[in-house]
Amino acid sequence: MPRKYQNGKLEIRKDVARPYYFVRVTRPTIRPGGFRSKRRVAEPLGFVDQISKKRAMELRAKLLEEVNAHRMVAQSQMLFRDVATRFIEVRVPQLGVAVQKRYPSQIKVHLIPAFGDLKMGDVDRPSIEQWLHSKKQAGLAPWTVKGLKGVLSAIFTTAKAWRLWDGVNPCQGIRVKNGAAREKRLLTTEQLRTVIAALDERERFLVRLLFGLGLRVSEALGLKWCDLDLDAGVVAIRRRWYRGDLSEETKSEAGTRRLQLGSALSEEFKRRYPGPHKLDAHVFIGDDNRNPPDDRDLLREYFRPIVKRLGLYYRGFGWHAFRRQNITARQHAGATPLEAMRAAGQNSVDMTLLYTLSDADRERAQVDAMFDGLMKVDGISKQ
């Protein structure tokens, strides 16, 4: 609904010792907790014996322009603390499970102590840059500092959507340098076979699933037997199990998808199928014999010690490595980036390309093929 245009007339208050010009306008006010309301007020413009009616009309026009442009919104009145608290109460529960755990502590431990007593309009870019720099100096990891900037930006973006803020997001344009990127390697077929063969049965099946379908580990652990159509050889991805929390939604809309299992995975699922009475049970069961395990426990206790023993471990080698392996292998097998994106449940081809790793043997063969064509003349290779 369009906002009502205010056009209050110029009036004179005469029932006072010194009459003055005024205009009635409706101004937004902020109640405790960050809730908006409206208040009708009489804005004085000047005493009748001091300014002319023409000057009073000019002041009236200037005031109405400001009111109708809505430049006096919340930032002049609201404390950052109130907006941040409301963000935790209203917006955070709508976000993903991982963010629901992380955002409140980041806001309470880092953001509110720094900006809580400031008005929204006083949180500007220089103060944010100085604050982020102090966090780096305090020893916080680059990814942590970048995450804090992201939370702060989300609060301002949400405040604008709620019409509690009408300025430019002060985080806009601030760049936080990443730390040294963790190494990402593409396992050879032989290395992948070695890893799979060395794992226990549950972890072996999980790795085959992550590699074969390119699932996020939370999607794999969230699978139930009712998600499988074994006759059609199809699995529906529609929920996640993230470190003790079950979400009936995937990470994004693109994450909800149906994937072909292929013959090998279909046969393995059929072999493991517990029967129709277990349709609502999870495919992967933890030590409590009811819920899926925590992916961190699997990584720490069952996966990492084995790949270290095999001499294949590198810093950052975890479940996501098999997702990257799948996305790369799909494209090597002939899938387009768009097809690989859809299978992986990603939102953009750019993200899919970031997950695509270079195959050293394939790259070497490409270079050799180019030079073979260049160096051979009439069937004779020139050195």
Mean pLDDT, the chain, integer: 86
pTM over 0.75: no
Which tokens is 185 given? 């390697």
Q: How confident is the model at residue 240 (pLDDT cuts 50, 70, 90)?
A: very high
Report whether pLDDT(329) > 80: yes
Burial of 261 (0-12, 13-18, 19+ CB in 10 A): buried
For the domain bounded by 189-360, which CATH number is listed? 1.10.443.10
Report whether pLDDT(11) > 80: yes
CA distance 115 to 156: 12
**Rounded average pLDDT over 334-355:** 87
* Predicted local distance difference test score (pLDDT) of residue 233: 93
* Predicted local distance difference test score (pLDDT) of residue 246: 85
Report whether pLDDT(2) > 60: no
* Predicted local distance difference test score (pLDDT) of residue 249: 85
For the chain, give the percent of residues with pLDDT over 70: 89
Output the CA angle 261-346-364, nearest 5 degrees.
80
Burial of 23 (0-12, 13-18, 19+ CB in 10 A): buried
pLDDT digits over 270-301, tens only?
999 999 999 999 999 998 888 999 999 999 99
> Which residue stretches of 141-293 are H helix?
142-161, 189-198, 201-213, 217-221, 262-272
CA distance 224 to 280: 6
**Rounded average pLDDT over 233-262:** 90
CA distance 294 to 230: 26
Report whether pLDDT(101) > 90: no
* Predicted local distance difference test score (pLDDT) of residue 5: 73
Q: How confident is the model at residue 1 (pLDDT cuts 50, 70, 90)?
A: very low
What are the boundaries of each domain within the chain? 11-72, 80-161, 189-360
Crossing angle, helix 320-332 and helix 201-213, to 10 degrees? 40
Q: How confident is the model at residue 181 (pLDDT cuts 50, 70, 90)?
A: low
189-360 has the same fold as 80-161 = no
CA distance 305 to 266: 29
Report whether pLDDT(19) > 60: yes
Report whether pLDDT(222) > 70: yes
Q: Lowest mean pLDDT of 72-81, 142-151, 227-236, name the range.
A: 72-81
Q: Lowest mean pLDDT of 138-147, 148-157, 180-189, 267-276, name the range.
A: 180-189
CA distance 351 to 341: 8
Contact in structure between 284 and 172 (CB atoms under 8 Å): no
Contact in structure between 20 and 12 (CB atoms under 8 Å): yes
Sheet order of strands, 257-260 included: 228-229, 234-237, 257-260
Contact in structure between 149 and 129 (CB atoms under 8 Å): no
Report whether pLDDT(75) > 60: no
Output the CA angle 58-59-64, nearest 5 degrees.
100
For the domain bounded by 80-161, which CATH number is listed? 1.10.150
> Which residues is 40 bridged to in the sheet?
26
CA distance 328 to 354: 10
Report whether pLDDT(361) > 90: no
Contact in structure between 303 and 309 (CB atoms under 8 Å): no
Integer-rounded Cα radius of gyration of the chain:
31
Contact in structure between 102 and 77 (CB atoms under 8 Å): no
Which tokens is 119 given? 């008005």
**Rounded average pLDDT over 48-62:** 91
Contact in structure between 56 and 46 (CB atoms under 8 Å): yes
Report whether pLDDT(326) > 50: yes
For residues 95 and 275, the model is more confident at: 275
pLDDT digits over 110-148, tens only?
999 999 999 888 898 899 999 999 999 999 988 899 999
Report whether pLDDT(74) > 50: no
Alpha-carbon torsion, ordered 300, 306, 310, 312, to 10 deg: -30
For residues 122-135, one letter each, b for 16 or more C-beta atoms within 10 angstroms of the residue's C-beta and e for the rest, the string is: ebeeeebbebbeeb
Report whether pLDDT(382) > 50: no
Output the CA angle 176-180-183, nearest 5 degrees.
135
* Predicted local distance difference test score (pLDDT) of residue 154: 94
Report whether pLDDT(264) > 80: yes
* Predicted local distance difference test score (pLDDT) of residue 225: 96
**Rounded average pLDDT over 249-259:** 89
* DSSP structure class, residue 224: B
Report whether pLDDT(261) > 60: yes
**Rounded average pLDDT over 16-34:** 79
